[in-house]
Amino acid sequence: MEREHVLVALVENKPGVMQRISGMFAKRGFNIETITVGPTESQELSRMTLVVKGDERVLEQVQKQLNKLVEVIKVSDVDPNESVIRELCLIKVHTPDQHARAQVVQYAHIFRAHVVDVSPESLMIELTGDSDKINAFIELMRGFGIKELARTGTTAMQRGAKIIEPKK
């Protein structure tokens, strides 16, 4: 069954790793929905989160092909039900009048989003959450007019004691 999978990869913190991974995806025809990368507690490691669409067979191939890359140290398939999955979104909404402004602020409040910038014509909202929450908020904002939108892509961490760490 085709669905979105969240993969976390620990990779060596070396130049070109991102290129190797995106190159592999392009070459194999896999679809990446989002990919994020950042440092970890160790200087030698970066952590990536990839959201990939496909059935079980595609997922298996993606994991195996990732593992084949010399600089990829570990790949984990993260169960969304047992993990915190977050994305950050900045959205600049058209608010030409008092009424629109008040409504947007109210919606932002309901979504636990923050107003982070104000100008005479617009508000900038910062929102974190899973993709569903962010999508829902974006849909709401469309009615007002979205001037600009930036999303970071998904990052994820398993709940509880489980830790994704390099193989020993």
Partner 1 sequence: MVKMTGGKAILESLKRHGVKVIFGLPGGAILPLYDDIYKDKDIRHILVRHEQVAAHASDGFARASGKPGICMATSGPGATNLTTGIANAYMDSSPVIAFTGQVARPLIGNDAFQETDACGITLPITKHNFKIMKTKEIPQIIKMAFKIATTGRPGPVHIDLPRDVQSEETDFDFEAEPEMPGYKPTIEGHPLQIKRAAEIISEAERPIVLAGGGVIHSNASPELSVFAEMLGSPVTTTFMGKSSFPENHPLALGTIGMHGKKAANKAVTESDVLIAIGCRFSDRSTGNVQYFAQNAKIIHIDIDPAEIGKNIKIFVPIVGDAKRVLKSLIERLKEIYKKGKTTAWVEKINQFKKEFQPKMDYDEIPIKPQRVMKELNSIIDSNTIITTEVGQNQMWAGHFLEVHHPRQFISSGGLGTMGFGFPAAIGAKVARPEATVIDVAGDGSFLMVEQDLATCVLEKIPVIVLILDNRRLGMVSQWQELFYGGRLSATLLGESPDFVKLTEAYGAKAEYVTRPNEIRPALERAIKSNEPYVLDVIVDPKEHVLPMVPPGGRLDQMIG
CA nearest to 70, candidates 31, 6, 14? 14
| Residue among 67 and 106 whose Cβ is closer to partner 1 | 67
| Residue among 52 and 123 whose Cβ is closer to partner 1 | 52
Residues in contact with partner 1 by CB under 8 A are: 11-12, 16, 19-20, 23-24, 27, 57, 60-61, 64-65, 67-74, 166-167
Rounded to a whole number of angstroms, the minimum distance from the CB of residue 8 to partner 1 is 14
| Residue among 27 and 99 whose Cβ is closer to partner 1 | 27
| Residue among 12 and 126 whose Cβ is closer to partner 1 | 12
Rounded to a whole number of angstroms, the minimum distance from the CB of residue 51 to partner 1 is 21
Residues 96 and 93: their CA atoms lie apart, in Å, by 9
Q: Do residues 94 and 148 touch, judged by C-beta distance below 8 A?
A: no
- C-alpha separations of 28 from 52, 58, 75, 117 in Å: 13, 10, 17, 42
Residue 89 CB neighbours (<10 A): 20
Rounded to a whole number of angstroms, the minimum distance from the CB of residue 166 to partner 1 is 6
Residues 17 and 58: their CA atoms lie apart, in Å, by 22
| Residue among 16 and 160 whose Cβ is closer to partner 1 | 16
Residue 104 CB neighbours (<10 A): 23
Rounded to a whole number of angstroms, the minimum distance from the CB of residue 71 to partner 1 is 5
Rounded to a whole number of angstroms, the minimum distance from the CB of residue 64 to partner 1 is 4
